[in-house]
Structure 1
Amino acid sequence: MDIRKIDDTISVAPQISVDDVAEAARLGFKTLVANRPDHEEPGQPSMADIEAAAKEQGLEWVYMPVESGNITDEDVDRFAPMIRDAAKPVLAFCRSGTRCTVLWALSAARSNPAQEIFTKARNAGYDISGLAPRMAQQAQNKG
């Protein structure tokens, strides 16, 4: 499992397996967030199986599928309160971790300086500099 820590509240990862859920719980994660739709590609684990494993391990489970390359403002509107209110730390996953990072960055832009967000993402291995215009737009939405 390739866990990439963004900060003390959230880490992201590429697709996890059912077996990875126990490791996530052992590492202290409290909430597991799936930002990947079921059946996005052949052979990916079913979200129902990962959800069952999460509940078995006592983790909160959030299934918030987002289409890769098409993150809408509505997606950010759903992600922002979820991540704010979730039991921490959170482990969010998708195919590569990028979609989770983008969702986090756009929601964080509503209350944090862009440079801080870029730095945290870069330290986790994600270059989100192309999001600057959307982050500036989100900074206007303090909701």
Structure 2
Amino acid sequence: MKELPGDVFVTGQLMPAQLFALAEQGVMSFINNRPDQEAPLQPMSDEVEQAAMAVSRNYYHIPMAGGLTPGLIEASITAYESAPRPIVTFCASGTRSAALWAFAHVDKLGVDGVLDAVSAAGYQLGQIRQPLIDFAAREKN
């Protein structure tokens, strides 16, 4: 797991059983950015949600299948604003989750701040610099 500012951790695919151990370690919320049926042995979102509910944790399914959309960004902002922390967010490799985290936090940390944070966590997302700039400028207007 890679740590991002704000008590957020990013990782690749989680299996339902892993949520039990993470809950024991104090994780309060899970954000799943992986669409169902993306890979053959991947658990369905419903299975992961049931595991989260079994340990009384918050669960958000915000699947990113393709490019960033305003709806994905808004859903991510809402989840990060309302989810109790610590939060574990995941997808296949963590890259999509890191990108959505960046968009959800660019208004607080700035473009360089979010890109530096995701880079420090091991995600090279320079390709989203201009979209982050555009999104941040749109938010200010």
Q: In structure 1, list runs of 5 or more residues that go unmatched.
A: none
Deviating above 6 A after TM superposition, structure 1's stretches of 4 or more consecutive aligned residues are: none
Does 2:132 align with 1:138? no
Inter-partner Cα distance in structure 1 for 2:80 and 2:125: 19
Q: Greater helix percent: which structure?
A: 2
Residue 74 of structure 1 is matched in structure 2 by 71
SS at match of 1:101: helix
Q: In structure 2, list runs of 5 or more residues that go unmatched.
A: none
TM-score, normalised by the number of residues in structure 1: 0.91
RMSD: 1.5
Between the two proteins, what is the percent identity of the paired residues? 24
| CA shift for structure 1 position 142 | 4.5
Aligned positions, number = 140
Q: How does 1:56-135 map to 2 (within 5 A)?
A: 56-67=54-65, 69-135=66-132
CA displacement 1:31-51 (0-9 Å, x = unmatched)? 111111111111111211111
| CA shift for structure 1 position 65 | 1.2
CA displacement 1:10-64 (0-9 Å, x = unmatched)? 1111001111101211221111111111111111112111111111111111111
Inter-partner Cα distance in structure 1 for 2:113 and 2:4: 11
| CA shift for structure 1 position 66 | 1.5
Q: Is the 8 A contact 1:111 1:142 kept in 2?
A: no
